[in-house]
Amino acid sequence: MAASLALTLLMPTGAMAATGQNAGKDYENTRKAAAEKAALLTETYGTTSVQYALIDQGNIVVSGQSGRNDEEGKIPLTAETMYGIGSTGKMFVTAAVMKLADEGKVDLDKPVVQYIPEFTMKDERYKQITPRMLLNHSSGLRGSTLANAFLFEDNDTYAHDTLLEQLKGQTLKADPGAFSVYCNDGFTLAEILVERVSGTDYTTFIREHFTEPLGMSRTATPLDNPDPSGMAGLYSPTIKGQLPNESVNVIGTGGVYSTAEDLVRFSQIFTGQVEGILSDAAVSAMEQEEYKKGLWPEEADNSIGYGLGWDSVNLFPFGDYGIKALAKGGDTLLYHAALVVLPEHNMAAAVLSSGGSSTLNQLLANDMLLNALKEKGIIDAIKPEKSYGEPVKADMPEEMRAYAGVYAATSQSIRADLSEDGELSLSIIQLPDYPAEKYFYTADGSFMSEDGSTKVEFVTEKNGRTYIWVRSYATIPGLGQTALSYYAAEKLEPHDVPARTAAAWKQRDGSKYYVVNEKYTSAAYLQAPILPIDLTGGLPGYWADRQLTGPDSAASNVQIPGMSGRDIMEFSFAKQGGTEYVEAGGSIFVHEKAVKPLYAGKKSAATIQANGYAKWYTVPDKAAGKTLTVKLPKNGAFVVYDGNGAVIEFSTITGNNKVVLPKDGVIVFAGDAGARFELSLK
């Protein structure tokens, strides 16, 4: 692999194959359908631009784009336009670990601490975590430590560099290996493992071992400093004009840029079309049903079912055709991606987008593959969409009433009400204005939606915990259908707290906390990064899914496989100089009492103190409607939000230094320690 001759010999035919426009008429119907559905994404479903490709037997036979790119319309979308692929990039770090395993340098089932000796946690169970558990989401790590991970055209490696320090102060949410629940930190830790074992930085490792051998010339990481003009244009609904490019600086978790054509070239590792990169045993290990090793709902049509790296190793609807399909999706704040691979048929499709979602992209990828299979005569027809049929109501047994109560998932609690006539009502307590979902008891013992698309059951698992089990078919008009089977929430048990703890939390109830440690280039400022505390309507002793564990602490203890139990954090409150702060997952927030009204006189200024914390202000009534002018420091920015929390000015994006202040708005100044913002108001 290290020799240039070996690199040349490993070049796959797909890298030199004709693209869709020159591939003949064999896939004419597939190309036509792909173009129509890509246009539907950009014209109807809010996607700014989309790029897609399909590879078959090592040849890229479909390739295209739809939508707009730059604001001026001067830079067209092409097959070489690069997109952030988000968590689809987890397949690169998974392949990297498997490469080291092939070389005998990593044992998937030995403790991670053997490879990263400085990895420690407050919870002694961390010593049981293995590389396999990082890759199949069963490590027990709490989820996502992503402070300063998403930045605008800034490849600051802070999030990667500080992960081990952040993990030192965390506990696990479950025994390692107990169940698979989506976990970003596991893949950043896997990235660090690759670096420690190989002695090479991760960006160099994937370039030398994957992208160069596979001819993926349009794949890079933020540390490659790719030209922003070659990236797909990004936009926000609340900010006029094109945004700077988004840098995701936890590269193993989601910091790779690529193209649809490059991604399908990468897929050839998993279809056996290239040799010498990963062994057959490594590829086979990645597509095993890892999710079945721990707690998981009964088997059903699903789009989630973890392998090593893969989101699904049995992707719906391909099982209905007797075809094995592997899938990995990815979503950053602004970019979205999907890769679907049919290893037994040497085919794959990739769809990337600016705006939209990975779910929509995956539906387009599915459709491309199904159309291609049909054109090749592998399947006779595309099957009709599925449902559970028209619900037949039945009398509900009285004992079902015991399942009523409060259930929890990540950052929310759900009230389940059961009426005497067998109606189940599910409502999100944190969203009182959101309509409750209604289901009816049926003869098979489940509750069903009126349209027959969704089944709900209550399951008490072998761990003694009770879950809401949801099975659902979701149809997206014009694009297709996806299926999910998952534990949506776990029933909360009563939790009594001491009087001192109750009093402390009663005082916080209704308060807001504002993030202070996000960099001035952070994309987190696109949505007001404010943490509200609202105990209203929830189960006593809880803040949404989080159990109140002391006067100054709270932590979620739910154990839900899949997606509903991801990113459950520990919250720690402390006072500094009389001001209360809260830390969670590496992010630090300040109490609203520290957020004072903005004063902008002739000589007023906002200065970032030595701790580097951002400074927040409210917009007083007398300032609303006036123009604020800011003399910006070199390393600083300001963001202004209206009364609904929508961004109306973000100087990192616009370069502006003036803004008309909104009524009931807030403003934040962020920058390096010592940065001074001189202010005037007219």
Say whether both 227 and 240 belong to one domain. yes
Mean pLDDT of 528-540: 93
Say whether both 193 and 312 belong to one domain. yes
| Residue 487 reports pLDDT greater than 90 | yes
Under a CB-based contact definition with an 8 Å cutoff, are residues 484 and 471 in contact? Answer: yes
- Rounded to two decimals, what is the model's pTM? 0.94
Say whether both 523 and 629 belong to one domain. no
The DSSP symbol for 220 reads: B
Query: Is there a domain that residue 243 lies in?
Result: yes
Q: Using alpha carbons only, how large is the chain's radius of gyration in Å?
A: 26
Query: Is there a domain that residue 382 lies in?
Result: no
Under a CB-based contact definition with an 8 Å cutoff, are residues 248 and 226 in contact? Answer: no
Pick from 247, 243, 242, 241: which is nearest to 224 by CA?
247
Strands 412-418 vs 83-84: parallel, antiparallel or unpaired: unpaired
| Residue 10 reports pLDDT greater than 70 | no
Summarize pLDDT for 372-415 with one digit per residue, the tens: 999 999 999 999 999 999 999 999 999 999 999 999 999 999 99
Say whether both 172 and 304 belong to one domain. yes
Query: Is there a domain that residue 203 lies in?
Result: yes
CA distance 212 to 215: 5
Summarize pLDDT for 326-352 with one digit per residue, the tens: 999 999 999 999 999 999 999 999 999
Say whether both 586 and 644 belong to one domain. no
The model's confidence at residue 25, banded by pLDDT at 50, 70 and 90, is low
Last residue of a domain, one of 446, 465, 491: 491
**What pLDDT does 14 receive?**
29
Say whether both 408 and 552 belong to one domain. no
Last residue of a domain, one of 591, 625, 646: 591
Residues spanned by the domain of 27: 13-375
Q: For the domain that residue 295 is a member of, what is the CATH number?
A: 3.40.710.10
Say whether both 543 and 581 belong to one domain. yes
Query: Is there a domain that residue 150 lies in?
Result: yes
Strands 480-491 vs 666-671: parallel, antiparallel or unpaired: unpaired
Query: Is there a domain that residue 7 lies in?
Result: no
Query: Is there a domain that residue 387 lies in?
Result: no
The model's confidence at residue 71, banded by pLDDT at 50, 70 and 90, is confident
Say whether both 605 and 584 belong to one domain. no
Query: Is there a domain that residue 384 lies in?
Result: no
| Residue 3 reports pLDDT greater than 80 | no
Say whether both 368 and 234 belong to one domain. yes
Structure tokens at 176: 């390692």
Query: In sequence order, what DSSP letters do the residues of 325-385 get, joined into one string?
Result: -EEEEEE-SSEEEEEEEEGGGTEEEEEEEESS-HHHHHHHHHHHHHHHHHHTTSSSSPPPP
Say whether both 579 and 631 belong to one domain. no
Say whether both 576 and 601 belong to one domain. no
| Residue 178 reports pLDDT greater than 50 | yes
Say whether both 64 and 123 belong to one domain. yes
Q: For the domain that residue 675 is a member of, what is the CATH number?
A: 2.60.120.380
Summarize pLDDT for 112-148 with one digit per residue, the tens: 999 999 999 999 999 999 999 999 999 999 999 999 9
Summarize pLDDT for 300-324 with one digit per residue, the tens: 999 999 999 999 999 999 999 999 9
Mean pLDDT of 170-199: 98
Query: Is there a domain that residue 383 lies in?
Result: no
Mean pLDDT of 75-100: 98
- Structurally, the chain folds into a number of domains equal to 4
Q: Report phi then psi at 97, rounded to 5.
A: -65, -40
Last residue of a domain, one of 559, 591, 623: 591
**17-31, 240-254, 435-449, 494-508: which has the minimum mean pLDDT?**
17-31
The model's confidence at residue 85, banded by pLDDT at 50, 70 and 90, is very high
Structure tokens at 298: 């009964």
Under a CB-based contact definition with an 8 Å cutoff, are residues 630 and 657 in contact? Answer: yes
